[in-house]
Amino acid sequence: MRLFKVGAFLAAAALLSGCAIMPIVSRNAGNLFRTPDPVANKIKQPVRTDARLAVLWVGHATCLVQMDDRFILTDPVLTATVGQLAQRLVEPGIEAKAIPPIDAVLISHNHADHLSLGSLEMIEPKIRHLVMPRGGLTYLTDFSFDAFELGTWESWEEKDSLKITAVPAKHVGFRYGVDNAWTDDAFTGYVVEYHGLRVFFGGDTAYDEFAFVETARRFPNLDVALLPIAPAEPREFMRRTHIGPEEAVQVFLDLGAKVVVPIHRDTFVNSTDERGVALARFLAEAKAKNLPEGSVAVLDFGQQKILVPKAPPPPAD
């Protein structure tokens, strides 16, 4: 077992204290040590031969994205807890053994519910590349895969045209609280491009109109935006680092993406939200803003949706 456990309790405490720990604990005391809800009929073969673009929501900010023959995994958290303290409310939507080889893992920031070293250990042989924000490599232990950092608007590209660009986010980058002084820009979103497909992953972020509009200007015609919609409450505190459900709808409009997948909800106790409320508020705001039919793809834990199907072969002569 690697020495990533050092400071794990402090990591969880930092995660919770950053979200007003006392109201959260008192509101969710019954959930802190419960057994996670099971996910029935987990997908055992997520590779879709009928898809150009597909998304499987594993839970929280973890999505398995298929772009033709390439696979991207966002902020993988497959462990039963984060920081060995915060218990999952729902099991991961896919087993680690069912995850296919991953071309790139995207890490948005260093919080224990986004950078899970235990989860990376579970799938280490499957990972080709891991991308982190500036300062992220400080927290990575002795893994065998290729890992590197990207600053805002910096890109990494393979010869066969898989391209990953770090895009602006507004959050905090510390992991243990005391490291905040040297992690003031250790957070990011990403745009992944491959074969004409474009995927936006928001990580964790507060609302910043300029950042999202500028991302849309540089990356028009985004096929999908994977957007956090929670924590929603307490709003006066959360708005500094997290978009809420209503703001997430506005971010989707700012980005000009074709489809939004609402993520970062109902998986861990890290707010005073009731389960399901953030999604209900998001859908109500989407209706109020008259989002086009089919532009919102709500996924349950472990559910996979094809967003761009593969064109059928031409008919035989």
pLDDT at 13: 39
pLDDT score, position 241? 81
Percent share of the chain, pLDDT over 90:
68
Q: How far is CA 201 from CA 42, 180, 205, in A?
A: 23, 23, 11
Mean pLDDT along residues 178-194: 77
- Cα–Cα dist 10/187, whole Å: 19
pLDDT tens for 242-270 read 899 999 999 999 999 999 999 999 998 86
Q: Which two tokens stand for residue 127?
A: 């990972």
At 213, give phi and psi (nearest 5°).
Answer: -65, -40
Question: For residue 226, which of 260, 273, 177 has the smallest C-alpha distance?
Answer: 260
> From the DSSP assignment, how many helices (H) and strands (E) are in the chain?
7, 15
Identity of the residue numbered 134: R
7-28+47-306 sits in which CATH class? alpha beta
pLDDT band at 109 (very low <50, low <70, confident <90, very high): very high
Domain spans, the chain? 7-28+47-306
Sheet holding 104-106, edge to edge: 146-150, 129-133, 104-106, 70-74, 62-67, 51-59, 304-309
pTM over 0.75: yes
* pLDDT, averaged across the chain: 87
Query: Which pair of tokens denotes residue 30?
Result: 């019954």
- Tens digit of each residue's pLDDT (9 = 90 or more) over 189-224: 999 999 999 999 999 999 999 999 999 999 999 999
Instruction: Check pLDDT > 70 for residue 161.
Output: yes
Q: Inform me whether the pLDDT recorded for 304 exceeds 70.
A: yes
Contact, 167 vs 200, CB < 8 A?
A: yes
Contact criterion met (CB below 8 Å) for 51 and 178: no
* 200 and 61 Cβ atoms separated by less than 8 Å: no
CB burial readout 95-105, b (16+ within 10 A) else e: eeeebeebbbb
pLDDT, tens digit, 9 for 90 and up, residues 122-150: 999 999 999 999 988 988 989 999 999 99
* % residues pLDDT > 70 (the chain): 84
Q: Which residues of 144-170 are buried (b: 16+ CB within 10 A; e: fewer)?
A: ebebebbebeeeeeeeeebebbbbbbb
Write down the pLDDT at residue 176.
Answer: 60
Distance in angstroms (rounded) separating the CA atoms of residues 148 and 155: 11
